[in-house]
Amino acid sequence: ADIRDRVAECAATAAGEGSLLTQLAAFTSELGRLGAAEPALMTMVVTARIDHHRGVHRHEAAASIVSTVHAFYDSVVVDAVRRGE
């Protein structure tokens, strides 16, 4: 699996939690496990996010990672609002 798939797996696991707070905590925890297991992958995730905020576009893989992270955040916040959190 590529890095975007690994990040998507972290997001899917976290999305299954019950509340926004537990979803965010689970996502952070899952990314932490990914980083501990494969530090180079986590470096790429962090670099992609930093580059995105700087307005730097290095390659499609980085854009895909950022898109996956943003999609997770967007979906859990929208779901939390629907639940009245």
- pLDDT (tens digit per residue) in 7-39: 999 999 999 999 999 999 999 999 999 889 888
| CA–CA gap between residue 77 and residue 55 (Å, rounded) | 24
* pTM listed for this prediction: 0.82
Q: Where are the domains of the chain?
A: 3-83
Q: What is the structure's pLDDT at 7?
A: 92
Q: 73-82 pLDDT, tens per residue?
A: 999 999 999 9
Q: Higher confidence at residue 84 or residue 2?
A: 84
pLDDT of 1 > 70? The answer is no
- For the range 19-22, what are the long-range contacts, defined as Cβ-Cβ under 8 Å and sequence gap of 24 or more? 19/80, 19/83, 19/85, 20/76, 20/77, 20/79, 20/80, 20/85
What whole-number percentage of the chain has pLDDT above 90? 53
